Amino acid sequence: MKKKLKRGIIVLALLALAALIVSRFLHRADRAEEETRPTVTVASPERRDIINRTEAIGTVEPEQEVDVMPKMAGEITDVSFAAGDRVEAGQTLITIHSDALDSLRIQLDSARIAMNDAETALSRTQALFATGAVSQQQLEGAQSAAGSTRLAYQNVETQLKLQTEYTTVKAPLSGVIETKNVSVHDQASPAMAICTISGDGGMSVSFGVTEQVMRQLNVGDAIQLEKNAALVSGTVTEVSGKISPATGLYSCRASIGEVQPAEDGSIPGVNLGSGSRAKVQLISARAVQALTVPAAAVSY
């Protein structure tokens, strides 16, 4: 009997201990759940502009770039420039010798002789007309012949002057020679550029964008160029509404401004030479005066 009583007491003690453990565990779980409840804050929606940005790879180019084309064919007798040289507007670049000039000089001599002969014939006819030896019709014929030969001479003289001017090809603007395509004794042709000149009007960057980005871009929008960790400001100057067949993108252009200071206030050195590549940061989407809420309030 005593053994049964002792066993009963032990069982009751174990049950009480188990109940205590379960109670503490459930109380601890409830308390942990209460501690993780979020703090609620209140914020009012605001009207503001939302701007998303994207990146493109652009090519740096001069804002003014000219292919210099000769206006006549012939042998190049002198070249007075090299790639990388700086030239001024009106400076002679090459000299051309053309057989066409020799032909024009011969034509000019023949036209001068014909004009002199016609002037002499007119003078004689006028003298004879004064004496009544020739008719009015003959006098008018001599005057017409003299006028025609004079016009023919002036025409050949003008052509010779123009062709002589074309024998010297001059720089159309001040700038730097980017490419040189000719040497002495080469044949010049009006269909072939002798060089390319980059003008002094600053640099620009050309890049392509998708239709979605093109519809968000406007002339005058600010952009940023990133080159070797340096940031350079820029302004959109052209937005094409036609797709480029070569790239399948819409061609855009922006003028390049000043290099932006680094965090320490120094101006980083950056080389934006013609033909170099740079990363262009620009607007891809925008919403003007949209009704906004804090990003923390949005659950995805």
| pLDDT, tens digit (0-9, with 9 covering 90-100), for 18-76 | 666 656 655 554 554 555 666 778 888 889 888 888 899 999 988 888 999 999 999 99
Q: How far apart are CA 234 and CA 202, in angstroms?
A: 12
Q: Report pLDDT for 206.
A: 93
Neighbouring-strand partners of residue 253: 206, 238
Asked whether the predicted pLDDT for residue 89 surpasses 80, the reply is: yes
Query: Letter for the amino acid at 148?
Result: S
Q: What is the pLDDT of residues 156-183, one digit of tens each?
A: 999 999 888 999 999 999 999 989 999 9
Predicted TM-score of the model (pTM): 0.58
pLDDT at 255: 92
Q: How far apart are CA 44 and CA 221, in angstroms?
A: 31
Closest CA to 128 of 138, 115, 116, 143: 138
Please state, in angstroms and rounded to a whole number, the distance separating the CA atoms of residues 104 and 260. 60
**What is the pLDDT at residue 98?**
87
Predicted pLDDT at 6:
61
pLDDT tens for 250-299 read 999 999 988 888 777 777 778 788 888 999 998 777 788 888 888 878 88
Contact call for residues 297 and 42 (beta carbons, < 8 A): no
